[in-house]
């Protein structure tokens, strides 16, 4: 039996509520699934802590994240908590954590579960693709840097490296190998999304992508410009399987993707590197609804399912991989049933009711 230690960062706003809901479900799994052993350490980090202590991520918390088998985070940031220069504390903490854990690839599934509200009139052959976003470079490489000349000129530099692009492309192709292909015809594909017609950095990103593709001859390849991709995501999303792209493009297209398939309350994400994995919902802290027990916990619970899949895959642990499938199926069952759902997807249930329903559906 493998045992995994998970560092939990409940964070701010709706973060603690959706984390409690996720814990409720994971505790039920540990109780009922033979061979699944998860232990947890939970830490304060984020904007609330910064307000009290001037620190978002104390060194001891970072140490524990580095030592844990995985990190599960719900949401960080409060609009009224600012650094002396007026910026929010959330980007500083998240970019720092990504860099410290070397999380080079972010994975954002865009999957339409039956019964979830779809933004499109026509659902075609279904929506089930994954955005893989380079997570440390691109335009975000300038975070904390850039240059400012007086009051007139400011620059941020977009950085693409062969190593970073190779790593993220490898993640994309390896994921495509484990998937069942695009909904329209079952073809396993990795699509490079770029702006290679304009920027040499993007032409280089595409060139490295095609270099990496040579190691995966069974997976289909294509390259699409990012502006066209935002059109295709709305017109024919079923024609895509795995998309790989630069950091800022991924940041933007993943929210478009979440909007297609039921909103931020249903969007999980994973950030992975060679040694570490961090899992978190794609939504933020939603302060307007914090403390009301109405936030949708499904994005965090689906992120926990991605965590179990990642732990199982890297440790060759079929119990953990099966547990990930069981958890995703339980969420899908509650979405399809439709009776218990939070207000963001058209229901009137509480966060806790949704968590209990998912926990009860695990064994069903
Ligand atoms: P942040 O600044 O932390 O990103 P935000 O409120 O600006 O916070 P999000 O938290 O990403 O941005 O959410 C935008 C809106 O989407 C929220 O105001 C809320 O209405 C809705 N929302 C996001 N997540 C959830 C959720 N889990 N359940 C219900 N509604 C949500």
Where are the domains positioned within the chain? 1-103+273-364, 119-260
- The H or E element spanning position 74 is strand 70-75
CB crowding 190-216: b at 16 or more within 10 Å, else e: bbbbbbbeeeebbebbbebbeebbeeb
Q: Which atom of ligand 1 is nearest to the CA of 79?
A: 2
CA of 282 to the centre of ligand 1 (A): 9
**CA distance linking residue 179 with residue 120, whole number of Å:** 24
Homologous superfamily of domain range 1-103+273-364 = Isopropylmalate Dehydrogenase (3.40.718.10)
Ligand 1 mutation pick, 284, 290, 341, max ligand atoms within 8 A of CB? 284
Whole-number Å distance, alpha carbon 37 to ligand 1 midpoint, is 32
CB of 304 within 8 A of CB of 40? no
- CA-88 nearest atom, ligand 1: 2
Can you give the pLDDT at residue 144?
80
**Is residue 264 in contact with ligand 1, taking CB distance under 6 Å?**
yes
308 lines ligand 1 (CB under 6 A): no
From the CA of 284, how far away is ligand 1's center (Å)?
5
Q: Which of 264, 265, 285, 290 to mutate to test the pocket of ligand 1 (most atoms within 8 A of CB)?
A: 264
- Ligand 1, atom 4: nearest CA belongs to which residue? 284
The best mutation among 17, 93, 116, 286 to test binding of ligand 1, ranked by most ligand atoms within 8 Å of the C-beta, falls on 286
CA of 69 to the centre of ligand 1 (A): 28
Q: Judge: domain 119-260, CATH 3.40.718.10.
A: yes
pLDDT tens digits along 113-162: 999 999 999 999 999 999 999 999 999 998 888 888 999 999 999 999 99
Has residue 334 got a pLDDT over 70?
yes
pLDDT at 1 over 70: no
pLDDT in tens, 244-265: 999 999 999 999 999 999 989 9
Indicate the pTM of the whole model.
0.95
**How many angstroms does the Cα of residue 111 sit away from the middle of ligand 1?**
19
CA 292 to ligand 1 center in whole angstroms = 13
52, containing H or E segment: helix 47-53
The predicted pLDDT at position 87 comes to 84
71 backbone dihedrals φ, ψ, rounded to 5°: -120, 130
Mean pLDDT of 186-200: 98
- pLDDT of 147: 87
Atom of ligand 1 nearest to the CA of 13: 3
Do 119-260 and 1-103+273-364 have the same topology in CATH? yes
């Amino acid at each position: 039996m493998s045992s995994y230690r998970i560092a939990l960062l409940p964070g701010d706003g709706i973060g603690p509520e959706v984390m409690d809901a996720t814990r409720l479900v994971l505790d039920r799994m540990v109780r009922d699934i033979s061979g699944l052993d998860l232990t947890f350490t939970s830490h304060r980090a984020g904007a609330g802590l910064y307000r009290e202590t001037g620190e978002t991520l104390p060194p001891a918390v970072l140490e524990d994240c580095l030592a844990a088998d995985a990190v599960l985070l719900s949401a960080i940031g409060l609009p009224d908590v600012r650094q002396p220069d007026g910026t929010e504390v959330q980007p500083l903490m998240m970019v720092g954590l990504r860099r410290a854990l070397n999380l080079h690839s972010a994975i954002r599934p865009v999957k339409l579960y039956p019964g979830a509200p779809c933004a499109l009139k026509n659902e075609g052959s279904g929506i089930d693709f994954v955005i893989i976003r380079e997570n440390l470079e691109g335009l975000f490489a300038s975070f904390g840097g850039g240059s400012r000349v007086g009051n007139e000129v400011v620059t941020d530099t977009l950085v693409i490296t062969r190593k970073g692009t190779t790593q993220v492309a490898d993640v994309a192709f390896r994921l495509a190998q484990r998937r069942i292909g695009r909904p329209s015809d079952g073809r396993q594909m990795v699509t490079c999304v770029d702006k290679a017609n304009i920027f040499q950095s993007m032409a280089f990103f595409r060139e490295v992508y095609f270099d990496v593709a040579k190691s995966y001859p069974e997976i289909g390849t294509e390259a699409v410009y990012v502006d066209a991709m935002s059109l295709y995501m709305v017109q024919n999303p079923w024609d895509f399987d795995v998309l790989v792209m630069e950091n800022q493009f991924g940041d933007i297209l993943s929210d478009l993707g979440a909007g297609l398939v039921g909103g931020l309350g249903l969007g999980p994400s994973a950030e992975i590197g060679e040694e570490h994995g961090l899992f978190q919902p794609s939504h933020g802290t939603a302060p307007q609804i914090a403390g009301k027990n109405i936030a949708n916990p499904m994005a965090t619970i689906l992120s926990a399912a991605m965590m179990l899949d990642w732990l199982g895959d890297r440790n060759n642990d079929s119990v953990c991989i099966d547990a990930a499938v069981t958890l995703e199926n339980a969420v899908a069952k509650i979405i399809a049933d439709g009776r218990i759902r939070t207000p963001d997807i058209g229901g009137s249930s509480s966060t806790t009711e949704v968590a209990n329903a998912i926990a009860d559906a695990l064994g069903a």
